A and B are shown apart, each in its own frame.
Chain A
Amino acid sequence: MGNVTVKNVDRIKQTLWEKSYIPEILRGLSVTTSHFFRNLNPNKEKRTIFTREYPEVITEYPERYRGLHRLMLRDDGQVRCVACMCCSTICPADCIHIEAGEHDDPTIEKYPTVFVIDELRCIVCGLCVEACPCDAIRMDSGRHIPPSLERDEAFFDRDLLMELGGLSEAKQGGQR
């Protein structure tokens, strides 16, 4: 706290011409007017309109878009998840519910009997993907969370999450 120094900053003096704001107003008007006329251009490609006409024109999400979760599969089509609870532990919204069960194959040993994500609660932070030690959960399905009329419809269970395809190049499969 001993090193605090005071720096005096002078107010910028404005000339009368500047104080009248006329040059600035004209500059502003020139900007808005140029936009206006540019967007009236009959050649629609020359217009600079950024609106996406959503329902008619579906946006292609980029490959790394974080959207709906999906569960990855092993070679034999079983779920890759081992119910380690890392995702549900780290989830800041507490939206992942997992119940673990004993797998028939002792080399796999543990698998999720119940795996439900409450997509309404999900804040799409992607921490679950980071936490997953088996690359079993991803958010690359390339879809956003669909609207629903009932709360229950936003509970995505294991089988539904396994069916979702992915945008990314990541391969399904793997032994363990």
Chain B
Amino acid sequence: MAEILLSVVKIAVIVFGFVMLVASLMTLLGDRKQSAKIQNRIGPNQARFFGFSLAGIPHFLADGIKMILKENVTPAQSNKFLHTIAPGLVFVPALVGWAVVPFMDHYCTGTVQTLPQMNYTEVCVGGEWKNYFSIMHFNSGLLFAFAIAAVSVYGAAIAGWASNSKFSLLGGLRSSAQMISYEVSMGLSLAGVLMIYGTLNLNEMVRMQGNMFGDWLPMWGVVVQPLAFFLFFLAGLAETKRAPFDLPEDESVIVAGYITEYSSMKFAMMQLSEYAATVFIAALIAVIFLGGWQVPYVYADGIRFLDNHWVPFGEDAWYWISIFLRIGAMVFKILFLVWLQFMMRWTLPRFRYDQVMTLGWKILLPLSIANLFVTALVLAIL
């Protein structure tokens, strides 16, 4: 019973308190305010609370109210059932994937000790690990995340088909073709990482990244697999259908792609799930390549740099401080990656469709395979 309650609380905090907040705020701050700053504009500032524009946040509420109040149009001749559930099919996977994302290491009921001689591995002495900071402790978490992320393509394809519109259909086709192309190199680019860490469990993976090369260089994914990081980031951009890979909703060619015929809250869900997917990809990159919740040299039992060891504020206090530091680090990394993705969106123009396909199949895929072989070779030699 307590476990179920705990899960519910975790789901509520992570999904609604974090993902939804970040995703929906991003629609405003990321898409509008950030682009405005880049383009030397002010951005939305006319909706106000008591005369304060509050960096445009009231617009987010106004937008929500508007979306809810708008008429929900379902095109004639469309498949009503599929047209209605398609937004859900897109939206749900974007949230379900969060089940395996660790926001912090498991909580140790005893004391945590870091063993520098064992490559800075943390062990729990006199207690056991309790999973309080990710929804689910799942040994094949990465596979789960991938499986779920791949499902969202069905939503887009179904939305495109069910709308009974050529533009939507083209958008749906583009979306599915593009997602499948990038799914391949995405998975293959991670194979090298898996070889090095030897686990599919995301929390384990993050723990491994706390290890050090020569006592000073953290073994983050981006350090050991720089090419894989680059490939994954690119494929992740393409996977989330964000610019410069937003071909499925190429407004200058196919109106709005598979969301052409959506209005009201359905449209909002489509949009929101796109942002949620962006945040999810950011979280995956953070976990796999940027050390997840790891803060370099900060451990549960103090700060260790080379052979020095400080424990500020005492052992117990420091444990809690380190927890908050690490959660903060995770959130910061996610936000930074989201910001970076948006930066890419406002920097690069949209690719042509054949360029997207060429990039996926002719460049990213061979590169990721090469990366896999080189990694395997290096590991075999070592």
Contact = CB atoms under 8 A, between A and B. Distances in A.
Within the complex, are A and B direct neighbours (CB within 8 Å)? yes
B343 A50 contact: no
Given A25-B347, A28-B347, A29-B343, A50 B37 contact: no
B40 A49 contact: yes
B169 to A, nearest CB: 31
Interface string B30-46: 00001011111110000
Interface residues of B, number: 13
B39 A35 contact: yes
A12 interface: no
A68 B231 CA distance: 59
Nearest to B340: A29
A50 B348 contact: no
A53 B42 contact: yes
Of listed A25, A31, A32, A50, residue having the most chain B CB within 10 A: A32
A168 interface: no
B335 to A, nearest CB: 14
Interface in A14-52: 25, 28-29, 31-33, 35-36, 39-40, 48-51
Contact of B40 (A25, A28, A50): A50
Nearest to B244: A25
A48 B39 CA distance: 9
Contacts of A25: 344, 347-348
Q: Is the interface of B mostly helix, strand, loop or mixed?
A: helix
A49 B343 CA distance: 18
B154 interface: no
Interface in A39-74: 39-40, 48-51, 53
B226 to A, nearest CB: 12
Contacts of A31: 347
B38 A49 contact: no
Contact of B344 (A29, A36, A40): A29
B346 interface: yes
Contacts of B34: 36
A28 B347 CA distance: 6
B38 A36 contact: yes
A54 to B, nearest CB: 11
A51 B43 CA distance: 9
B42 A32 contact: no
Nearest to B39: A35
Contact of A39 (B40, B344, B346, B348): B40
A32 B41 contact: no
Interface string A101-123: 00000000000000000000000
Contact of B38 (A35, A50, A51, A53): A35
B216 to A, nearest CB: 27
A39 B346 CA distance: 15
A103 to B, nearest CB: 52
Interface string B312-350: 000000000000000000000000000000011011100
B61 to A, nearest CB: 21
B47 to A, nearest CB: 14
Contacts of B348: 25, 28
B42 A29 contact: no
Nearest to B41: A51
B237 to A, nearest CB: 11
What are the 7 closest A-B residue pairs judged by CB atoms, nearest first?
A: A39-B37, A28-B347, A51-B42, A32-B347, A32-B38, A36-B37, A35-B38
Given A28-B347, A53-B42, 10 more contacts: A29-B343, A29-B344, A31-B347, A32-B343, A36-B38, A36-B343, A40-B37, A49-B41, A49-B42, A50-B40
7 contacts: A28-B348, A29-B343, A29-B347, A32-B343, A36-B37, A39-B40, A48-B40
